[in-house]
């Protein structure tokens, strides 16, 4: 029981934060040191997520929670605006940060790495905690060496604002690095309806489908002489990220310095 990893959850009232609170309360290797949310506090953390009373009241003060001195790891799914300050604060108090927010600059990452080194603790910033999504990206980049002709089709809910998705752009970058330079398609090709051929990226195309009932899906399709190869990842719910979050919490206990990108833990 004393071996449980003690976790502070920041952004506990958000959609990802609630899943993290559930994970920490239900996983036998983890225990909830504190739950913090700026706007939604003073209620029991268990009640917040539809579980029995947990005996931990959500608080609005992250620094006090970190200063209490008994936490091992901070898990933070908040906003790009607050993520840097939260991460620095966490390191200052010797609490290992596991951060699921984008928007860090290379300089910030370097600075936070130095702080982790100075404190002798590990840290992790990961824009994507989905093991399946990371495998999809790795396999797609590998396949592109042999099958340079490909397109990406990604599916998200119909209220999503940006297209293409962050994951599809990350996938496209990894593919572009792996494959030989190639401009696909017929040079004389014409769009009868503008946009039909999708978004152009480094010689290939990305298509963004937006439909109600879809959470997050992506397919990379490779075409070659007489064959196609498809790699597809379907996420059905936020809970699907939790095995990755747990792996991150465990990993961060075992090294020193800041790691950027969850894919470092996947061979």
Task: Kindly state the smallest distance separating residue 61's Cβ from a second copy, in Å.
Answer: 27
Task: Kindly state the smallest distance separating residue 92's Cβ from a second copy, in Å.
Answer: 34
What does the alpha-carbon distance between residue 113 and residue 122 come to, in Å, rounded to a whole number?
Answer: 9
Cβ neighbours for 221, distance < 8 A, ≥ 6 positions apart: 150, 151, 152, 153, 228, 229, 230
Please tell me whether residue 239 binds a second copy under the rule CB under 8 A: yes
Please tell me whether residue 191 binds a second copy under the rule CB under 8 A: yes
- Is residue 37 a known part of a binding site? yes
Peptide linkage before 46 cis (omega within 30 of 0)? no
User: Which of the residues 203 through 232 are near a second copy (CB under 8 A)?
Assistant: 205-215, 221-232
Task: Kindly state the smallest distance separating residue 117's Cβ from a second copy, in Å.
Answer: 29
User: Which of the residues 8 through 47 are near a second copy (CB under 8 A)?
Assistant: none
**By CB under 8 A, which span of 76-84, 116-124, 132-140, 252-260 interacts with a second copy?**
132-140
- Is residue 57 a known part of a binding site? no
Query: Within 13 Å, how many C-alpha atoms sit on residue 109's CB side?
Result: 15
- Is residue 127 a known part of a binding site? yes
The smaller minimum CB distance to a second copy, of residues 1 and 161, is found at 161
Cβ neighbours for 141, distance < 8 A, ≥ 6 positions apart: 171, 174, 175, 177, 178, 179
Residue among 4, 41, 160, 251 flagged as catalytic: 160
Residue 259: name the closest of 113, 118, 85, 121 by CA. 113
User: Which of the residues 152 through 181 are near a second copy (CB under 8 A)?
Assistant: 153, 155, 158-164, 169
Residue among 156, 207, 233, 246 flagged as catalytic: 156
Please tell me whether residue 243 binds a second copy under the rule CB under 8 A: yes
**By CB under 8 A, which span of 7-15, 26-34, 55-63, 190-198 interacts with a second copy?**
190-198
Q: Torsion angle of alpha carbons 45, 48, 50, 51, nearest 10°?
A: 10
The smaller minimum CB distance to a second copy, of residues 50 and 120, is found at 50
Sign of CA dihedral 89, 95, 96, 100: negative
**What is the DSSP code string of 51-102?**
SS--S-B-BS-HHHHHHTS--SEEEE---HHHHHHHHHHHHHTTPEEEE---
Residue 71: name the closest of 31, 38, 43, 100 by CA. 31
- Is residue 59 a known part of a binding site? no
Residue 156 appears among annotated catalytic residues: yes
Please tell me whether residue 188 binds a second copy under the rule CB under 8 A: yes
One residue of 14, 127, 132, 203 binding a second copy per CB under 8 A: 132
Q: Which residues are catalytic?
A: 156, 160
User: Binding site residues for (S)-2,3,4,5-tetrahydrodipicolinate, as ranges?
Assistant: 166-167
């Amino acid at each position: 029981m004393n071996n449980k990893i003690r976790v502070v959850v920041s952004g506990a009232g958000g959609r990802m934060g609630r899943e993290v609170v559930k994970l920490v309360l239900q996983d036998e290797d983890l225990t909830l040191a504190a739950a913090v949310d700026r706007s939604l506090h003073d209620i029991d953390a268990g009640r917040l997520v539809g579980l029995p009373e947990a005996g931990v009241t959500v608080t609005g003060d992250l620094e006090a929670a970190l200063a209490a001195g008994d936490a091992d790891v901070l898990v933070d799914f908040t906003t790009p605006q607050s993520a840097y300050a939260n991460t620095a604060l966490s390191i200052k108090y010797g609490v290992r940060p596991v951060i699921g927010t984008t928007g860090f600059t290379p300089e910030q990452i370097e600075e936070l790495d130095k702080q982790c080194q100075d404190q002798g603790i590990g840290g992790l910033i990961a824009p994507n905690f989905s093991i399946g999504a990371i495998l999809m990206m790795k396999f797609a980049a590998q396949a592109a060496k042999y099958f340079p002709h490909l397109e990406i089709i990604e599916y998200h809910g119909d209220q999503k604002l940006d297209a293409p998705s962050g994951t599809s752009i990350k996938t496209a970058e990894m593919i572009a690095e792996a494959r030989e330079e190639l401009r696909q398609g017929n040079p004389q090709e014409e769009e009868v309806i503008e946009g039909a051929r999708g978004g152009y990226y480094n010689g290939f195309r990305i298509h963004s489908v937006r439909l109600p009932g879809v959470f997050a899906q992506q397919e990379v399709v490779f075409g070659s002489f007489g064959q196609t190869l498809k790699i597809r990842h379907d996420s059905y719910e936020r809970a699907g990220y939790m095995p990755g979050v747990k792996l991150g919490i465990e990993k961060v206990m075992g090294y020193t310095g800041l790691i950027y990108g969850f894919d470092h833990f996947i061979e």
